[in-house]
Amino acid sequence: MTADHTEHTLSTIEGMAAVTAADWSGLGGAARASQSDSGGCGIESGTIYNPFVSHAFLSSLEDSGSVTAETGWLPRHIVLRAPDGSLEGALPAYIKSHSMGEYVFDHAWADAFTRAGGRYYPKLQCSAPFTPATGPRLMVRPGPGEDPRRRALAAGGRALCTQLGLSSVHATFVPEAEIPAFEAEGYLHRTDQQFHFQNPGYGSYEDFLDTLASRKRKQLKKERKAALENDISIEWLTGSDLTEEIWDIFYEFYIDTGGRKWGRPYLTRAFFSMIGDRMAEDVLLVMARRGGRYVAGAINFIGGDCLYGRHWGCVEDHPFLHFEVCYHQAIDFAIARGLARVEAGAQGEHKLARGYLPATTHSAHYIDHPGLRRAVADYLDRERRDVEQIGEMLRDHGPFRKGGGEADKPDG
């Protein structure tokens, strides 16, 4: 695809190798402030560094063989260039032959369209593959004219859909601030829900516990104590700690969980070596050790204002260890680093009792077929109301004190 848009040019590239890391890092959200002369950690949420749209992360997915045509993810990134050829914007995009690894489910749409005689696949997916974390999709160089460039990228997704005869375009885990640009180009707005921990500036985990109802506070203390019985200790590994030996151990955890949950794990062993080489300071492994060996672990990615929990695995089962490694330790790290929140992945109402409250997520969908578009639009109107109502209900059942009634109850 090649098109002119207000003196800028839209085109596609077939992989991250077609653009330099330095050029990509000039786009909002793609680099930490120290990595980009554009000040990659801005005030608006869309410009704060997000590791999942970094050149290092996206290129590692491709170079490791995790994201390829054979795995059903064919890279077709949309790029916006100025008249002098400089990179002004990008929309990470993939031609998909299935709906796996996306976490925003459209299987029912595909089934209905197929039963009606349509062809749903291939489609265009705009996201960070295998990653249910909100981050910039309409990535533009910070400065004047950002909104028109975002609209140009959204229009580029629609144009590529038409050019290639695809059924639809799906931009998932989109910042809410980007939704108007998508809607202006004919996309439908969808919402869903995750559970996030918000850090208003706690000085310690105890400060967080002090905000909870007495019964909930005691439950979490007991749970954390029980998780570390049987002489289990916890380690945080990042940067130079991430050796090939450590990756071998963690990959065993990942394969075990991935094989049971998905049938075939998405990520190759080479991917972990590559992120260890290219973005080690953005990676945190929380590892549990017992009897001189690691028995469980979780991988997290460190953004400009957020810790993103991703994959967990273990070779020994211990009560509450999953909660300790994935949720409690993530809170500890976020407080220690001064991060504003923890996003612990998709779904999971069990996170609510551990201080993770409902948070609305957003996606944008362009449906080419008029009949399917009308049906999906009607469904999304009802779904948005349901998501809002469920979120309100769940927030009312959170673990935090209400009105201070239980604040003075002792924990003993």
Residues 112 and 216 both lie in one domain: no
What pLDDT shows up at residue 265? 85
Statement to judge: residues 154 and 204 lie in one domain: no
Whether 291 and 301 map to the same domain: the answer is yes
**Residues 124 and 245 placed together within one structural domain of the fold:** no
Place of tokens 């749970």: 223
pLDDT at 259: 57
Task: Give the whole-angstrom CA distance, residue 173 versus residue 387.
Answer: 15
* 246 and 351 fall within a common domain: yes
Average pLDDT in the chain: 92
- Let me know whether 216 and 288 are in one domain: yes
Whether residues 133 and 274 fall in one domain: no
Q: Is residue 216 part of a domain?
A: yes
Crossing angle of the two packed helices 107-115 and 370-396, in degrees rounded to 10: 150
Which of the four pLDDT bands, split at 50, 70 and 90, describes residue 3? low
Q: Is 35 a residue whose pLDDT tops 80? A: no
Q: Give the residue-averaged pLDDT of 337-343.
A: 97
Give 67's pLDDT tier (boundaries 50, 70, 90).
Answer: very high
The answer to the question of residue 365 being in a domain is yes
Shared domain check, 297 and 200:
yes
State yes or no: pLDDT of 235 exceeds 60.
yes
Residue 340 belongs to domain with CATH number: 3.40.630.30
Provide mean pLDDT across the span 17-28: 97
Asked, for residue 346, whether it belongs to a domain, the answer is yes
Domain span at 222: 196-358
Residue-level pLDDT at 306: 98
pLDDT at 406 over 50: no
Q: Identify whether residues 183 and 137 lie together within a single domain.
A: yes
pLDDT of residue 45: 38
Give the model's confidence band at 311: pLDDT under 50 very low, under 70 low, under 90 confident, else very high. very high
Task: Assess if residue 411 is contained within a domain.
Answer: no
Our count of domains for the chain comes to 2
- 66 and 155 together in one domain: yes
Position 218, amino acid: K
- 130 and 76 assigned to the same domain: yes
Task: Give residue 301's pLDDT band: very low, low, confident or very high (50, 70, 90).
Answer: very high
Asked whether residue 21 falls in the same domain as residue 50, the answer is: yes
Residue 408, domain member (yes or no): no
Is 385 among the domain residues?
A: yes
pLDDT-derived band of residue 33, with 50, 70 and 90 as boundaries? Answer: confident
